[in-house]
Homo-oligomer: A and B are copies of this chain.
């Protein structure tokens, strides 16, 4: 067995808070309640980020409003030692893992590319080149297995990303090596302006799974319990050596692609309205109330926590220290090559950002 001075070990997620962290060891009620709470907080965070973008505090923000059940359901099934490979769309999932909200938004603030420590948080940087992080997850999971760790890697990607060659190669590699990876495709109906029907002619994206010889499931991505159950099953299958699973979660991008996008150019608002009626938070809220697990007092308490989290997000994003020119040179290489050392001397001195 390999002796990797790898990054995992403890089952404790730094920065993880009871507010958001779920553990597979919890009973069902706790899971539903925590999940509900995390979705409410997550949405509030997402709305705050959208506001910050509109107000110019963020360079851009791709909202996952409406995809809360996917975002929270995905990370809720993970141990602290498991790795998450998110996209630009998945900030809500990242904070739900316990990553500091301002650090989560650093990239989108036009600040350093990745603001959090991926090693400490077992959360890869937001990936923008579509589907390219999928093979990273496969390799990481294989290395973890070689090291004798029971780490599972979860890839988040969108429906459009499944058309990329990188997606195909990564899923096939994971299948052939039975790597402990779960691919969660958040099928939110659109790739920027392009609807799913122009992305694939397949009945479903889950239908790709048999072509790789792995299990594939299509689930209701707006139903937290269903996402959580499917993710937990897939994660534990992978952990047990059963190889990868492809999960297609049907959801909807209620908002624009990013704050810069105008969906009215390519889709009918009625469609979005219809989906608002399938809102994942309202749905779980109703279930919880029906089961007597949620009442107004608890809802108020949760809302208060959400407000506090959103306020912290706003405050810390705005106060976040600006990067300095010196940082451009600090991490290009372990040691600067001569031609770069010269430049660091000349241009690495100038102060930080305006």
Contact = CB atoms under 8 A, between A and B. Distances in A.
Interface stretch (A64-72, A144-152, A169-177, A256-264): A169-177
A198 interface: yes
A133 to B, nearest CB: 15
Contacts of A199: 176
Interface in A22-41: none
A180 B172 CA distance: 27
Given A211-B207, A211-B208, A212-B201, A164 B175 contact: no
Copies of this chain in the oligomer = 2
A259 to B, nearest CB: 29
Contacts of A167: 168
A200 B172 CA distance: 7
Interface in A148-201: 163-169, 172, 175-176, 178, 198-201
Interface string A200-215: 1111000111111110
Given A164-B169, A166-B165, A169-B164, A202 B207 contact: no
A172 B161 CA distance: 12
A110 B167 CA distance: 36
Contacts of A209: 211
A169 B202 CA distance: 14
A169 B200 CA distance: 11
A59 B202 CA distance: 44
A210 B205 CA distance: 10
Q: Which of A199, A203, A213, A214 has the most CB of B within 10 A?
A: A213
Interface residues of A, number: 26
Contact of A163 (B172, B198, B214): B172
Contacts of A213: 200-203, 207
B201 A210 contact: no
Nearest to A131: B165
Interface string A238-267: 000001000000000000000000000000
Contact of A200 (B175, B200, B203): B175
A167 B212 CA distance: 14
Contacts of A203: 210, 213
Interface in A86-111: none
Contacts of A169: 163-165, 168
Nearest to A197: B176
A134 to B, nearest CB: 11
A47 B309 CA distance: 74
Contacts of A211: 202, 207-211
Contacts of A198: 176
A270 to B, nearest CB: 25
A339 B99 CA distance: 55
Contacts of A243: 201
A7 B60 CA distance: 48
Q: Which of A172, A203, A209 has the most CB of B within 10 A?
A: A172
A167 B211 CA distance: 13
Contacts of A207: 210-211, 213
A175 B163 contact: no
Nearest to A175: B201
A176 B201 contact: yes
Q: Ordered nearest first, which 3 A-B pairs have the shortest CB separation? A: A165-B165, A201-B213, A208-B211
